[in-house]
Amino acid sequence: MAALFNHSPLTRPLSVRPDMLATDIRTVSDAALFIRRLPKEVGSRLHWTLAGAALEATDRHPYDENLLQISTLAMENALANENMLVTGGVFMQTGPAQYAHGGAREPGETSNK
């Protein structure tokens, strides 16, 4: 991904786990820099490629609010897929499915009910 110089704010700031490369991603250029700093094996995953393409389109068309929204959503999706996203001060981790009883179970685990 090329360096982007669009300092337009994303539609909302995205918070990243503290142990990652940044803690807040607020602008198009912040998001692009974050992707460029990812290890190659991580940054080449499809969700990062899509987020990068959306950011590049936003850089080329800085006044397109729809592209800005798409870029924000793509970046949020990529962060969530990598378990890097923090929302509402809470680290969002994908993991075992949540079942109707409200708890998470590992595959093969049974209920005590």
Contact call for residues 32 and 52 (beta carbons, < 8 A): yes
113, part of any domain:
no
Residue 63 located in a structural domain: yes
Cα–Cα distance, 82 to 93 (Å, whole number): 8
User: Is 30 within a domain?
Assistant: yes
Query: What would the two tokens of residue 33 be?
Result: 């820099």
Q: pLDDT digits over 96-109, tens only?
A: 333 233 333 333 44
Span 44-87, pLDDT tens digits? 999 999 999 999 999 999 899 999 999 999 999 999 999 999 97
**Helix, strand, coil % (nearest 5) of the chain?**
40, 15, 45
Q: What pLDDT does 92 receive?
A: 45
User: Which residue has tokens 């080329």?
Assistant: 60
In a domain, 48, yes or no: yes
The total domain count for the chain is 1
Q: Which domain holds residue 30?
A: 9-91
Residue 4 lies in a domain: no
CB-CB contact of 107 with 35 (8 Å): no
Tens digits of per-residue pLDDT, 15-36? 998 887 667 999 999 999 999 9
Q: Is residue 16 part of a domain?
A: yes
